[in-house]
Structure 1
């Protein structure tokens, strides 16, 4: 196989780090672009995942990568949620109620 399964995990890990970097600098356009790139990598990984057995060492590396991805995801969510809340307020301002 030309590209090993772990190569995809490592590419996703690098992309996830770049997404975190973009979120930390509030570069939302870059973050969205990277999120799309990550989705492509994940789709390809899913295609290969069931076909490729991993050695115990590779499974351990995969587990470390997955834990890193979870940490990145939590940090990204923490940075993005206030922005999403603010965007929601701008797009859907609270309606004032008239009292009669």
Structure 2
């Protein structure tokens, strides 16, 4: 059995990011913002690992196309999450600096 190449590893990180962003969207749709924040941390770790791997692993044209597809999916997820979060951001943004945000529950 052959060892996977570094490029495959890079695509695995991109795929893991896509999966995590999809789970973040699901959590946001379920109004589970604690889970969204948790998954945001998972994404941060994956991005750091991806940066380490990507420097040494040029992608083929096919792999670049897959990376492009994944990045577009992540951006769509992010846009949907932001749309769901905007009402919350407005509530927090209206709070006075140093003051308390209004109670939401």
TM-score under structure 1 length normalisation: 0.84
Residue ranges of structure 1 left out of the alignment (5+ in a row): 94-100
1:44 paired residue number: 49
- 3-state SS of the aligned residue for 2:31? coil
4+ runs deviating over 4 angstroms? none
TM-score (norm 2): 0.81
In the alignment, structure 1 residue 5 sits paired with structure 2 residue 1:
no
Q: Report the alpha carbon displacement of residue 49 of structure 1 after superposing the two structures with TM.
A: 1.1
Matched, 1:31 2:43: no
Pick the structure with greater CA Rg.
1
Aligned residue number for residue 88 of structure 2: 83
Alpha-carbon offset, residue 81 of structure 1: 1.4
Cα distance in 2 between the residues matched to 1:28 and 1:84: 12
Q: How many residues align?
A: 93
Task: Establish whether residue 72 from structure 1 lines up as the match of residue 77 from structure 2.
Answer: yes
Contact 2:24 2:35 in 1 (8 A): yes
Q: Which runs of 5 or more residues in structure 2 are unaligned?
A: none
1:88 CA displacement = 3.6
